[in-house]
Amino acid sequence: MIRREPLGRPVHAPTDESPALSPAWTGGGKRLFDLGVALLCLVLLAPLLVAVALMVRLTTPGPALFRHLTMRQALDLDVEYVRRQSFALDFGILLKTVPVVLSTHGAE
């Protein structure tokens, strides 16, 4: 026969003896602390981030930072596709996409 001990109270359960947070901490002090730590990390990591961006720029073609199409550019591409929509166009896009995906070199 298996004997089981009774479970105690959960560790995360609040109790009456839980310490209360100071008003300075709850009234905006934590926000200032979070902003200060984030700013410190950003300043300390900035040289590393710049070095990585330079290495990417020098070792690969194209921009070091990703840039999305504008809404206007995306809309123009969609309108052009709808105007030229055909099975041959879809098949051509598919034939160009499969080798690019399999080669992992990206679009050109």
pLDDT tens by residue, 8-18: 655 555 556 65
| pLDDT reported for residue 45 | 96
User: Could you tell me which of 57, 53, 56 has the C-alpha nearest to residue 45?
Assistant: 53
> Per the structure block, which two tokens stand in for 17?
């003896």
Q: Measured between alpha carbons, how far is 67 from 49 in angstroms, rounded to an integer?
A: 17
Residue 4 has pLDDT above 80, yes or no: no
What confidence tens digit (pLDDT) does each residue in 78-108 have? 888 888 888 888 888 889 888 888 887 665 5
Instruction: Report domain extents, the chain.
Output: 29-62, 68-108
User: Could you tell me which of 88, 82, 76, 94 has the C-alpha nearest to residue 102?
Assistant: 94
